[in-house]
Amino acid sequence: MNSLLELRKRGQSIWLDYIRRDLIRNGELKRLIEDEGLRGVTSNPSIFEKAIDDSTEYDEALGGLFARNPNIEARELYDTLSIEDVRDATDILRPAYDESGGLDGFVSIEPPPQLTRDTQATIEEGRRLWRTVNRPNLMIKVVATPEGVQAVEALIAEGINVNITLMFSMKHYEAVAGAYIRGLKRCGKPEKIASVASFFVSRVDTQVDKALDALGSPEALALRGKIAIANSKRVYQRFREIFDGDDFSMLRQKGAHVQRPLWASTSTKNPRYRDVLYVEELIGRDTVNTLPPATMKAFRDHGQVRGDTVQENLPEADNQLRALSNLGIDLNAVTDKLQVDGVASFAASYDRVLAALDKKRSKMRAAGAST
């Protein structure tokens, strides 16, 4: 049987970490939903940048926008094209949203990364995107900085679905879960809200492994490729404590959904590790795993579903985290830096998208002038 469909039986939803116009319009997204059990889509500017730079699939739409306003700014171009793609994708995923009772079928869109440190600007942009896309199965992606966490609470309180991203540590997770619950308590219809807490996985091993290699001792080298999974398992246990416990009981009685952990950055960066490592080891109920196309294909081909692995070997995971600390490696310092670097990477990707759009405009103007 298709391993991706087996994950759904375990209570885990697979979302695709990829969106571009040809996927939506050539029927491939619909096929993935129907044949592979796909339940959602996340997006980011770097994917859009490649589609603009390396293909002609947006040329017709860009030509129409340039014709109407030759001086249109790159930011408005990106906003218009990305909203069109996200709206079309939400329509294709709407049956999954309806069938799941509003638990799945979501597509995420993010405010410009430059707003990450501005709570009020993030709130206002989240509102604008929510109104403009105008689909109940939209999620606004907000970065889990302290300023973003405040925005999350406000958006949830207003009835807006939120995907909170760039979380790497227990500290990040607890702040986000608290904001979600506080927002639900202020929301008139908490049963209508959905949210995911996007917890990044492989990037933790990438950074920690460098520190372990630098130490070079047998004890250090034995921990390579272990810490990201141990870190994620510990967060999942905290998720269960919070949402199965008294803190959430009154909201649960009102029909509120739990805020599911979403495992992000689950493609394997180190070629020494199994290419589906972070999928196989983080299977569990009430979770989402967002996969890039290559990882999704690899898991369908040879992924193994052996049980609720996110709850396996928990004492061993705790021992690994303790051993890391005993080696003098501060995981909180590593994960704080990862979030800072992630924000910078998002901003750089966004800037590259704008540059790609400006480049495309220059090429189209030159082509028009030569005809």
- Active-site positions read 141
**257 CB burial (10 A radius; 0-12, 13-18, 19+):** buried
Kindly write down the DSSP assignment for every residue of 9-58, as one continuous string. HTTEEEEEE---HHHHHSSHHHHHHHHH---EEE--HHHHHHHHHH-STT
Q: Nearest-CA neighbor of 6 among 294, 279, 313?
A: 279
The sign one gets for the Cα dihedral 222, 225, 228, 229 is negative
What distances in angstroms separate CA 61 from CA 26, 58, 146, 209, 351, one per listed residue? 16, 5, 37, 44, 20
Give CA–CA dist 320/135, Å, rounded.
Answer: 43
- Torsion angles phi and psi, residue 364, rounded to 5: -70, -35
Q: Note whether 7 and 310 are within 8 A (CB).
A: no
What distances in angstroms separate CA 309 from CA 7, 9, 285, one per listed residue? 11, 14, 10
Q: How many CB atoms lie within 10 A of CB 22?
A: 13
DSSP code for 176: H
Q: Are strands 162-167 and 40-42 parallel, antiparallel or unpaired?
A: unpaired
Q: Note whether 143 and 116 are within 8 A (CB).
A: yes
Residue 281's contacts (CB-CB under 8 Å, 6 or more residues apart) are 229, 309, 310
What distances in angstroms separate CA 6 from CA 32, 34, 51, one per listed residue? 15, 14, 31
